Structure formats: C-alpha cells, structure tokens
Amino acid sequence: MGEVNPDAVFPGLLSADEEELVEDMLYTGVLSLDQLDRIFLDVVSAVGARPWWVTLRLVAQVKANWAVIGADMLVRGVDATRLSLSGWLDVALLTLMRHIRPEDSTMFTLQLEAPPPSETAQVQDKLEMSPEAFLALAG
C-alpha cells in the first residue's frame, strides 16, 4: 500500500470531462488548491463514514500493522473488494481493538479521534450547543 494521493481521489474519480473541468477551474482561479484539498478531505469523510483524520489514521494503523491486522482480517474472510470503505474500516477498527491491550484501548481511541489543529475550532463549533437547544432537550 502506498501513500494516499489526493489527486487520485479528487478529481481522479471523476470522468475525464469532469476532471478536465476541474483542471480548468484551477487554472482560471475559480477553484483554489485549498478548496481542492478540502474537497478531497470531504470525500474521504463521506466514503469513510467518519471524520477524514480518523479514516486516514485507521488506514495508517492497518498499514503499519498489516502482518497481524491484515492477516487476521483475511483469515476471517474480509474481502475489501466486496465492502464499502466505511464497512472495511469498521472491520479494521474492530480487528485493531482486538489486538490492543485493554489498558491501551482508551489512549488509542483518543489518539485516533483527536482532531488535527486545523480542524479543532470547526469541531468545537459543532460540539457546542446553544442554550435554546439545551433547554429543548430538557423539555
């Protein structure tokens, strides 16, 4: 398994005509490289069914421990060609958790789910609840 190539995901998964349109948008300044990167991260979040950083960290953990985790998944009949990415990640996470000492599982989960600094403010905004929303829960 190689490194993740954002261009292979977006615009790489588009048709040739759509990919050319994205390239034109980049050249004319309608689309910035930062926006292109954000689209890639949004696609990874959508197909991984979890925040992009969790998806990429899970893939990295499986890759780093492939001799054990990959083998365990293969022995149990996990076929990546028949699963969605989110389904495969669910199995991978379960497999990783089975191989982690119980006393290390909380730290592993915290490290896996911790948003990167670039996302911390955005995540915090999503977690905060307005007083009205809180009172609606109580009522």
CA separation for the pair 122, 117 (Å, rounded): 10
Distances (CA, A) of 21 to 1, 16, 24, 111, 133: 30, 9, 5, 38, 42
- Taking each helix axis from N to C end, the angle separating 52-64 and 33-48, rounded to the nearest 10 degrees, works out to 70
pLDDT at 27 over 90: yes
Residue 96 DSSP symbol: H
Contact (CB, 8 A) for 9 and 43:
yes
pTM of the entire predicted model? 0.78
Local confidence band at 9 (pLDDT 50, 70, 90 cut-offs): confident
Local confidence band at 1 (pLDDT 50, 70, 90 cut-offs): very low
pLDDT digits 0-9 by tens, 92-130:
999 999 999 999 999 999 999 999 998 876 654 555 666
The pLDDT value given to residue 121: 63
Mean confidence (pLDDT) of the chain: 89
- Segment 7-16 shows an average pLDDT of 88
- Segment 22-31 shows an average pLDDT of 94
